[in-house]
Structure 1
Amino acid sequence: MPSTVTHNTPANGRRWSHPGDLASSRPTGQPTPGAQPSPSRADTHPHLPAATRTQAPRSTSMAPRGGPQPAVRSPQAQHVAHLAPLADLAVVKHLRDINDANAALGIPAPQGDDELAQQHFRRGLCGVSCEAVLRQLQTSTGGVHGLSQVDRNHGGTHFYLESADGQQVIEPTWKQIVVSHAEEMSDTRRCAQALQAFPPVFAGSKQELADMVRAACRALGKAGAADALMGHWGINP
């Protein structure tokens, strides 16, 4: 099987029939009133760009002189970034619907590495994931916020959501681009663990996406591979 796969249909030989059950993929209950949320692993992960971490409200005090300055986001960028949790819930729900339908046909649930790969990489599900996100945005927020499904066709079909100006992105299945088909099949657990701290759905600017892809490639031990992946999102390395 060629290393470049068409990402709109499952192409890895696995049968997806059961939703991901990792705690990181399932929606949790409502927090206890007054309780402070605990920091996620993404907050302390050394490879994850600061712009993609879950952050506490920023202090209004100035950063120390000479220290790192907080990234300044446009209102549109902030708005798109806030849609990430809703987008991920839409994808997780859609995967469960797919797996329930398969189970009704007698297709056994994936176990072990197969289940792990479905949860983390979502290979072959970019198109249906984007459609699920758009439906969820329309239902929950009354619109799609200027986002539409696009395909750059960079060595294979891959769908994601992009703003009208081409600057903002919601990418529900970005990990299947960073992890090759061969890597997923031969080293599923290592790749999944390396990317565990990164968000399952990216939402933000293309520059932030590029930074995150580079960080993810470093976490996978293949920093030199990042630039070749940027064409999937129309980014010049």
Structure 2
Amino acid sequence: MTKLSVNINKIATLRNSRGGNVPNLLQVATDLQKFGAAGITIHPRPDERHIKYQDARDLKPIVYTEFNIEGNPQHNFIDLVLEVVPTQVTLVPDAIGALTSNAGWDTITHQSYLKDVVALFKSKGIRTSIFVDPNEKMIEGAKETGTDRIELYTESFAHEFGLGNLKGIEPYVLAANKATEMGLGINAGHDLSLENIKFFKENIPNLLEVSIGHALVSESLYLGFDNVINMYLQRLK
């Protein structure tokens, strides 16, 4: 079964909008795991507009499933990951002011840099994953960095699926096959939802993990976290 890791950035955004500690990020992370989530994902950004660096430290003893920290491996991010030592670090090429992730790595242009970062994290026993577009050349480049996994950037799939174009899955199938051929684990994330996750899971071979935040939290406003987590788990079987 594909594992569900829940990105809790939006919970931190809501908390930060009023200050204080409501909603309580640590309690939400605890409850999501209790409801069946196999992991917790956070994506701290340099301006700490949602997840704060201290949140990563505070979550470490709370997350008893898998702890995934995403982000651009700039100096402060690298220091944080080495301090916290999560289960997995996902490298994402965010620009400083980016609203959200909007592209995968060019693993050929940045291969030397990524290779150094991956080696550093793996030396501390942290599983590594590189955020990539569904492009076979980028998968090949990722393999050369020494990463354990790739995370497929799924925005274009979700957009095409929403338009009724089921062929939008095709480049992802090719990319997943290439990753499997090269011995890389496969994660996926961005704009996956209750609407499209079942189709994606059924068509992507060897899908190990999906990271879902914005859609899951939005759906839970209507249906509740417990219900929504279990709805995802049914679709990911």
Using the size of structure 2 for normalisation, the TM-score is 0.31
> Relative contact order: is structure 1 or structure 2 higher (C-alpha 8 Å, sep ≥ 6)?
1
Greater per-residue strand proportion: 2
Give the TM-score normalised by structure 1: 0.31
More helix by share: 2
Larger radius of gyration: 1
